[in-house]
Amino acid sequence: MAINIAIDAMGGDRGLAVTVPASIDALKKFSDIHVILVGKQAEIEQVLAGYQYDSSRITVVHAEQVVDMDELPSKALRNKRQSSMRIALNLVKENEAQACVSAGNTGALMAVAKFVLKTLPDIDRPAICTSMPTMQGHVHVLDLGANVGCTGENLLQFAVMGSVLASAVDGNATPRVGLLNIGEEEIKGHQRIKDAHLLIQETSINYVGYIEGDDIYKGNTDVVVCDGFDGNIALKSSEGVAKMIAFYLREAFNRNIFTKIAGLIAYPVLKSFKDKVDPRRYNGASLLGLRKIVIKSHGGADQFAFLQAIAEARLEVSKNVPERISAEVSKLIQGDI
């Protein structure tokens, strides 16, 4: 049976111009999926008309409204019941789809998803988890901004959820989990982090202890757990410095005719380097802790990046991520892990 993926076709900075072609690419790449494009029907059909695709594998569901990229979550929840985001989530709730992908406003997506799909039993707060490149492969980091001011107990739940995700999607039976802090001395950091440190130690999680910001990229952990504020600072600072480095690298090769020639000669090497650290490859953050699968794409995602978010949705459906999280959290409550 096909995996049905509901796409919030209107979401993101470029909306249909990205979501529609990326969905068609996904159909080509994955023979086992069916895509439901949710949004303004006439507009979607107009964009679809420009492409070749198997029409039996795409359904269009009309939605009259669009959640704005800067709309307050509470307003999106109250006033946008006919939005493409809301209707895509409704399709998941009603089992018409097994996952939803949206490049819309993160706060609104989390609020509406929590309201429509509900959190798993015994999960206090869903978290946003993304994977990031490391010198060895990749690492799953959560939370990235959904929860500010977590308790130690919340962070423990994030450790369980991240560990389950890594285990499910990477096939790693004992993912190494680190807790983001500012020093290796046990005296540093916030109380919540010290609490979480003790709580996680008591479980069977493969806990490696405190890590610092630079450790995220070293590849010595598979999961990094942090408060949403801290995770967001780490993620955004990393994005900023990576953009600055790219800026100066381009500038150096564009300085004059000689540097431009050097750039042409080095182009294949620079291209292979760029592909390796390309943030678009890591697009598609998971809203973990909900009863169903919701993937948040970066708002500025292009067609290639949005395709990765759809691929992440498909992978999590095939690995039954929410069911596995639920089972592990139940064990945790019963003191079995």
Residue 144 near residue 227 (C-beta atoms within 8 A): no
3-state secondary structure 282-337: HCCEEEECECCEEEECCCCCCHHHHHHHHHHHHHHHHCCHHHHHHHHHHHHHCCCC
Q: Does 52 bind a second copy (CB under 8 A)?
A: no
Q: List 176's β-bridge partners, or say none.
A: 206
257 contacts a second copy (rule: CB under 8 A): no
Q: Is 53 a residue that touches a second copy (CB under 8 A)?
A: no
Residue from the set 69, 96, 263, 299 that interacts with a second copy by CB under 8 A: 263
Question: Phi, psi (5° rounding) for residue 184?
Answer: -85, -15
Pick from 62, 93, 138, 190 the residue near a second copy by CB under 8 A. 190
Contacting range for a second copy; rule: CB under 8 A; set: 152-160, 225-233, 308-316, 325-333:
225-233
Query: What mask, x for binding a second copy by CB under 8 A, covers residues 148 to 167?
Result: xx------------------
Q: Which is nearer to a second copy, 29 or 271 (CB)?
A: 271
Q: Which value, to the nearest 10 degrees, does the dihedral of the CA atoms of residues 186, 238, 306, 288 take?
A: 10
CB 34 within 8 A of CB 3: yes
Distance of closest approach, residue 229 Cβ to a second copy, in angstroms:
5
Looking up tokens 């757990």 gives: 225
Q: For residue 143, is the peptide bond before it cis, meaning its omega torsion is within 30 degrees of 0?
A: yes
CA distances from 39 to 28, 55, 202 (A): 22, 17, 47
Comparing CB distances to a second copy, the nearer of 53 and 217 is: 217
Residue 236: other Cβ atoms inside 10 A = 12
Binding segment for a second copy (CB under 8 A), chosen from 58-66, 90-98, 164-172, 186-194, is: 186-194
Q: β-strand 127-133 against 138-142: which pairing, if any?
A: antiparallel
Would you say 73 or 322 has its CB closer to a second copy?
Answer: 73
Please, what is the minimum distance in Å from the beta carbon of residue 222 to a second copy? 16
Q: Give me the least distance between CB of 224 and a second copy, in Å please.
A: 10
Decide: is 133 part of the binding site for a second copy (CB under 8 A): yes
Residues that bind a second copy (CB under 8 A): 70, 72, 107, 133-135, 145, 148-149, 180, 182-183, 185, 187-190, 212-218, 228-230, 232-245, 247-249, 251-253, 255, 259, 262-263, 265-266, 268-270, 272-273, 276-277
